[in-house]
Amino acid sequence: MERSRTPLSTWFWAAYLVASQTKGMSAVQFQRQLGLSRYETAFGILHKLRAAMIRCPKCFFRGE
């Protein structure tokens, strides 16, 4: 999100879509639902959100 040209409302909508989908979604489907013109933008947002959601649970207890 930092230094991104994508509006903050799009990031929040993207986070909602990722969190609410049980099976997950492809970047193409993600691009269509968000109404983005570039595949690379959809892929980048999806990649960053997935990486943020997969932090190891042990890291929270260590304070990392």
Q: What is the pLDDT of residue 25?
A: 85
The model scores a pTM over 0.85: no
Which run of H or of E encompasses 12?
Answer: helix 8-20
Residues listed for the chain? 64
**Of the candidates 35, 32, 28, the residue with the CA atom closest to the CA atom of residue 7:** 35
User: Quick count: other Cβ atoms within 10 Å of Cβ 34?
Assistant: 17
Q: What is the pLDDT of residue 23?
A: 81
Q: What is the pLDDT along the chain (64 residues), one digit of tens a residue?
A: 667 788 999 999 999 998 888 787 899 999 999 999 999 999 999 999 888 887 666 666 665 5
Q: What is the pLDDT of residue 5?
A: 86
Q: How far apart are CA 18 and CA 47, in angstroms?
A: 11
Q: How far apart are CA 64 and CA 62, in angstroms?
A: 6
